[in-house]
Amino acid sequence: MRDEYEKFTQRDAQIVAIGLNTEAAFQQYWSKENIPFIGLPDPDHRVAVTYRQEVNLFKLGRMPLVCVIDKDGRIRYAHYGASMADIPENKALLNVIDQLTASSN
């Protein structure tokens, strides 16, 4: 998403990454990697529980979850991955965003 961030912003979409790190760890990583979108810490798994994201201690953390949420706060697309290798391509997410935009016009 970082490499194609501009394609998301051109569609008036915001990317928010939520992870289990502490606030300090998140700030350090975001600064070091120069990530252009928002990163929010969720070390207590509150957001993970809300969105039914699997926390798997045997795999040292959370299973990836990618959502597209519309302007009304409704989940319009959710992909629950089995590993970090199981994340949808940006093209799929951009297609969902384009479909939402077309249906609201």
Task: Give the pLDDT of residue 36.
Answer: 92
Contact of 37 with 14, CB cutoff 8 Å: yes
Segment 54-85, tens digit of pLDDT? 766 555 566 678 889 888 888 899 988 877 78
C-alpha to C-alpha distance for 33 and 53, rounded to whole angstroms: 25
pTM of the complete model: 0.79
Across the chain, what does the average pLDDT equal? 85
